[in-house]
Amino acid sequence: MTTKLIKLFSVAALSLSVAALALPANAQSFGFGKKESSVDWGDVSTQSDAALINLYQGQATLSSAVADLADILELQDEAAGLRASAQAVSECGASSCSEFSEVTEQDAKVQEQVVAELERQAESLSDDQKAKAEEALKKYVVGGIQFATGLKDARRLGEIAADAPMLQKPKFLGLIKAVPTAAKGAANIAQTAPTLFNIATAADIKKPEGGDEMLGMI
Q: Are 173 and 154 in contact (CB under 8 A)?
A: no
Q: Which of 63, 139, 68 is nearest to 104 (CA)?
A: 63
182 within a domain of the structure (yes/no): yes
Whether 2 has a pLDDT exceeding 80, the answer reads no
14 within a domain of the structure (yes/no): no
25 within a domain of the structure (yes/no): no
**Could you read off the pLDDT of 149-186 as tens digits, one per residue?**
999 999 999 999 999 999 999 999 999 999 999 999 99
**Could you read off the pLDDT of 43-77 as tens digits, one per residue?**
999 999 999 999 999 999 999 999 999 999 999 99
Whether 191 has a pLDDT exceeding 60, the answer reads yes
Domain region containing 95: 39-217
88 within a domain of the structure (yes/no): yes
Helix (H) or strand (E) holding 76: helix 76-90
110 within a domain of the structure (yes/no): yes
Alpha-carbon distance of 198 to 191, in angstroms, equals 12
Q: Are 159 and 81 in contact (CB under 8 A)?
A: no
3 within a domain of the structure (yes/no): no
Domain count, the chain: 1
Mean pLDDT of the chain: 87
